[in-house]
Amino acid sequence: MTDLFTETDFFTDSSAATLASALHARCFDDPWNEEAFVSALNIPGTILQVMCVAKEPTAFALYRQILDEAEILSLGTVPELREKGIATRLLDDGIKFLRERKTQILLLEVGVQNIAAQQLYRAKGFREIGRRPNYYNHGAGGEDAIMMKLQL
């Protein structure tokens, strides 16, 4: 599938908020609306990464960079194309981009039940640095988040 990757684009303004919202809705049960992306992308240091496969937007990552640290705020791949290496490529391109911007530390939170994402992050060198109890609200109960860090 690697030969189908067409491009990765980075946005530092709200021009792609509609696209980001549509991708987020395809990736998650509790999606962010367009206004949430406009608000996030209007904050200095916020970066939206969109990956296209066969010229179709299929994955995204939203980062916030402050000085030499960045955090992944959200990352997703459309369900029908998961487990095809897209998130790996997305993350590789994002890390390269952040390194070029002099980022030294990349942080994130991932749900304890999201084993696939944990495996991806560990394969990229992220290590667990803590937990946030009941970080994700899933209706009747909360899900803990694993806090992870990658030294770039």
Per-residue model confidence as pLDDT tens digits over 100-134: 999 999 999 999 999 999 999 999 999 999 999 98
Comparing CA positions, the residue from 66, 36, 47, 38 lying closest to residue 9 is 47
Residue 86 CB neighbour total at 10 angstroms: 20
The pLDDT value given to residue 5: 55
Among the residues of 2-75, which ranges form H helices?
17-27, 34-41
The pLDDT value given to residue 115: 95
Q: Could you tell me the CATH superfamily of domain 2-151? A: Gcn5-related N-acetyltransferase (GNAT) (3.40.630.30)
| Domain residue limits, the chain | 2-151
Residue 83 phi, psi dihedral angles, 5° rounding: 65, 35
Residue 1 CB neighbour total at 10 angstroms: 12
